[in-house]
Chains A and B, each alone.
Chain A
Amino acid sequence: MNARITRLYRAMALAFAALIATCTYWQVWAAPSLEARQDNPRLVYRELAVKRGRIISADGITLANNRSRQANGRTIYLRRYPRGGDAAAVVGYSSVQASRAGIERTRNDYLTGANTDLAGGVERLIDTVQGQTVQGNDVILSLDARAQRLAIRALEATGQPGAVVAMEPETGRILVMASWPTFDPNLVDRDFASVLDAPDAPLLNRATQGLYPPGSTFKIVTAAAALESGELTPSTKFAGGRCVKTQGPDLCNAAGEVAPDPNRLDDALVHSYNTTFAQIGEAVGQERLVEQMTAFGFFVPTPIDYPREQMEISGIYRRAGRIADPSRPVDVSRVAIGQAGLLTTPLQMAMVAAAIGNGGVLMAPRFVDRVRSPSGRLVTAPPSDEIGRAVSTATARTLADIMRRVVDEGTGQAAQIGGLDVAGKTGTAQTGRRDASGRPLSDAWFVAFAPTSAPRVAIAVVVEDSTGFGGTVAAPIARDVIEALL
């Protein structure tokens, strides 16, 4: 029987050798590919072991930091947003439940310290080898937390959804980007359902994802195309009246107003005569208008360090969600007054104002001022990027002067600030919807920059489904935010 006992033992030894071989396969050979699988919860856990850098506003307010917890013998870091919903549209969130959004997403590499220069890499390597927590870099935004909070509160006070975008014309630095309703990013991990189910889709960043008919604010672009054509000047005269004939139905002025006959291009912008701008649109033609829009950044995703899936493209939409080829014929007289399927984001309109304020040069908007290592060393300070020249210096100056008159004597007087000259343009784009008592609802717009001669702020404000006008609802918000920023 002993020979058989030996044989049985050998069979057993072989079976255990097979087990060790299997373990070797999983723990050595297959380990890297298993570790990288998306459904492996260790991916999230590893990221939680990294102490993400803070996100700090330009005025030194911490917008995102961490709280630490012990798990499996290690310290893990969960994200905390001390300012709640104030800057949620910009900062976004970094969560276990719902991945990442906003700057937390686009600047994840800096925040986790994964993408640093050589010195940062060495610091990180030493941390890893010493078994210390890997610390990410702090990201300092161009955002002004005080003005940001003011913008959020001002939007909240309207009782309607809306957005505010303010940027520095010369550099493209975003100073305010507010979207109402907002959400509390602290809730994303705790109770994501409550965020998802909240009314009016707070996760939507209306500043970059909201597509609104720009209404009369678009007349700046039409006017720019007209002046750039060299065929029209501010004093070019057009026929007045209550309505004009177009390719489609007759096009009339707002509230039945009668435009003087004749009236000048500059006066028409100050008083926002639809009839005149329909004629300007016809005179400029679709090709030149589209060219001007392209120069302002329409038809392409805005180049900005923000997640592409949280942005929409401004342009002419054939039907919901489908942007049209701008070379296909459109009702140019209606596009000229910001209608006929023309939809823009508030960010795009802020860029139009900024380009004019910056002497015609369009700067790429950006969020990040500096990236700082945990030891306080400057890792990077992204430079300002020029997208291109939108209009000539002369055209920019001419438009700025007309826009200042809009605030001084025209539809935008609510944006006046004592001791400061503001250039602006109102817009009240009919949405076709009506409120419960049958009053027509409009998207109320105001775009502006100030001070006119050397602007430090360009701004776009939109309030959705408002019963008021751009000049009464949006302009005061713009005024308050500009005042807070200057």
Chain B
Amino acid sequence: MIAALRTARNRELVNLVLVSLLVVTGFGAVFVARENAVESSSLSYAALFIALYLAAHVVLRLTLRNADPYLLPLAALLTAVGLIEIYRIDPELARDQGLWIVLGLVLFTAVVVAFRDVRRLEQLRYTCGVAAVILLAATAVLGTEVNGARLWIRAGGYQIQPGEFAKVLLVVFVAGYLRANREVLTHPARRLLGVGLPALRHLLPLLSMWGAALVLLVAVNDLGSSLLYFSILLAMVYLATGRWLYVGGGVAVFAVGALAAVQAAPHVQDRIDIWLDPWRTPQTTGYQIVQSLYSIADGGVFGTGFGRGFVLVGDRTVIPDAHTDFIFSVIATETGLAGAAGLLLVYLAFVYRGMKLASLADDGFTKLLAAGLSFALGFQAFVIVAGVTKLLPLTGITLPFVSYGGSSIVANFGLLALLLCVSNHVNRPAGT
């Protein structure tokens, strides 16, 4: 009887209930700090949030009964922390973010229904590849420049960041491509100067992707995204072939490209100077990172509590872009080292579940897809957190599921849906 209740979906439900507790207390804390009273109307945010995730849960019950029970609650936890802090910064932004989550769930449901059998995606690999290139090219051509980097396309009253979608599409394409060409890449027929090299037609897609990432770096001036794409590519090539030649070659090409970018674009050199010593210009170019570090330090071990950190002056945030790139700094302020480390461990747990699926999967495409998607998510989180903590130069990318932003939220829900589809396939009962 009890054993029968221990299904994946029931476990997921229990986990979601645990997340709901955090959501209610988190929102409650912000309300109390804001208005000195908990209003019944204001708790509707928490209720809406919980309802959305329960809807996702029901979708999974109906479609992917055997999907991993931890991925959705982990994503819910990340979204919850993000939404609480966004609400804390500006309730109107939180309302928009709620809308993005709804859109994300629409895409989530569509993906889950369309790709219940995730292997169907493999046939679409070139479509995905072309779509990714079109999205990135469109950004480069139509994009508007923000902070020296061209990441956004304005459409109507909203801004779209196509790079976020391109990231997911790229993983699908690379997984399909590598699965098809794995053998020739790993054991090339021809040798050049004692090094095995596959035929150009097998190598060309790989080289063109490196090239695209470099173009992105130089032309679009977006160090963060190009680093992300490049790393996804290298990680997946390494997984597929195990050949350090490709990894080393890729790193070398990227290093040369980055050096060229530093020479060509003063913007990149500035970023590095700011990274080396932000306190040389604490009021101008170094302002953001200096304020970020002050905020993080202010959190101490246990934080100030939700809604009680020094985040706002009047109605402006102390750190510019606190709701997008610097959301981690705000979380570190209000939840301290305990919360910051906890958040990072949630990402790591997500990556762990994804990698675990990859190792359990029985075909190359699914393996590469699962590993690639979870690496993409984990590495993106790493790059932005390393940026705001001054471990690496700052690059403007979002913290997946946490940062404010429609493109980021919707794209990452797509990523989550794909991982869940993979897990449903991997965890299917024997004999079916």
Contacts and interface: CB of A to CB of B under 8 A. Distances in A.
Interface in A9-61: 9, 12-13, 15-16, 18-20, 22-24, 26-28, 30-31, 34-35, 37, 39-42, 45
Contacts of B378: 12, 15-16
Interface string B354-391: 01001100001001000100010011001001100111
Given A8-B371, A23-B332, A34-B293, A16 B389 contact: no
Contact of A24 (B34, B337, B358): B337
A300 interface: no
Nearest to B357: A5
B293 A26 contact: yes
B298 A42 contact: yes
Interface of A: 1-2, 4-6, 8-9, 12-13, 15-16, 18-20, 22-24, 26-28, 30-31, 34-35, 37, 39-42, 45, 70-74
B36 interface: yes
24 contacts: A1-B242, A1-B364, A2-B359, A5-B355, A6-B359, A12-B348, A12-B375, A12-B379, A16-B344, A18-B386, A19-B385, A20-B340, A22-B390, A23-B340, A23-B344, A26-B389, A31-B298, A31-B300, A34-B297, A35-B298, A39-B290, A41-B291, A73-B33, A74-B33
Nearest to A13: B348
Contacts of A8: 235, 238-239, 355, 371, 375
A31 B297 contact: yes
Contacts of B405: none
A27 B340 contact: yes
3 tightest CB-CB pairs across the interface, nearest first?
A: A73-B33, A34-B297, A31-B297
B294 A34 contact: yes
A72 B340 CA distance: 20
Nearest to A42: B310
B282 interface: yes
B152 interface: no
A74 B359 CA distance: 50
A18 B340 CA distance: 13
B336 interface: yes
B355 A71 contact: no
Q: Which of A13, A45, A73 has the most CB of B within 10 A?
A: A73
A294 B51 CA distance: 83
Nearest to A73: B33
Contacts of B34: 73
Contacts of A9: 351-352, 355
A26 B390 CA distance: 10
Given A8-B238, A34-B294, A72 B382 contact: no
B393 interface: no
Nearest to A20: B341
A26 B296 contact: yes
A4 B348 contact: no
Nearest to B364: A1
B409 to A, nearest CB: 22
Contact of A42 (B282, B294, B355, B382): B294
Given A12-B351, A73-B308, A19 B389 contact: yes
Nearest to B303: A27
A28 B239 contact: no
Contacts of A73: 32-34, 305, 307-308
Nearest to B33: A73
Residues of B in contact with A, size category: 35 or more
A41 B389 CA distance: 18
Contacts of B235: 8
Given A5-B371, A27-B340, A18 B391 contact: yes
A36 to B, nearest CB: 10
Contacts of A40: 294
Contacts of A34: 293-294, 297
A23 B296 contact: yes
B297 A30 contact: yes
Given A1-B239, A27-B297, 14 more contacts: A2-B359, A6-B359, A8-B238, A8-B375, A9-B351, A12-B382, A19-B386, A22-B386, A23-B296, A23-B332, A31-B297, A45-B310, A72-B308, A72-B309
B301 interface: yes
Contacts of A16: 344-345, 347-348, 378, 382
Interface in B312-355: 312-313, 318, 332, 336-337, 340-341, 344-345, 347-348, 351-352, 355
Nearest to A2: B359
A15 B377 CA distance: 13
A5 B337 contact: no
B283 interface: yes
B84 interface: no
Given A4-B238, A39-B282, A23 B337 contact: yes
A8 B372 CA distance: 10
A26 B294 CA distance: 9
Nearest to B235: A8
Given A16-B347, A34-B297, A72-B310, A4 B290 contact: no
Q: Which of B242, B291, B296 has the most CB of A within 10 A?
A: B296
A24 to B, nearest CB: 6
B67 interface: no
Nearest to B32: A73
Given A12-B378, A13-B348, A39 B283 contact: yes
Given A5-B359, A18-B391, A31-B300, A23 B341 contact: yes
Nearest to B382: A15
A26 B297 contact: yes
A214 to B, nearest CB: 45
Nearest to A34: B297
B26 interface: no
Contacts of B386: 18-19, 22
Interface in B267-289: 282-283
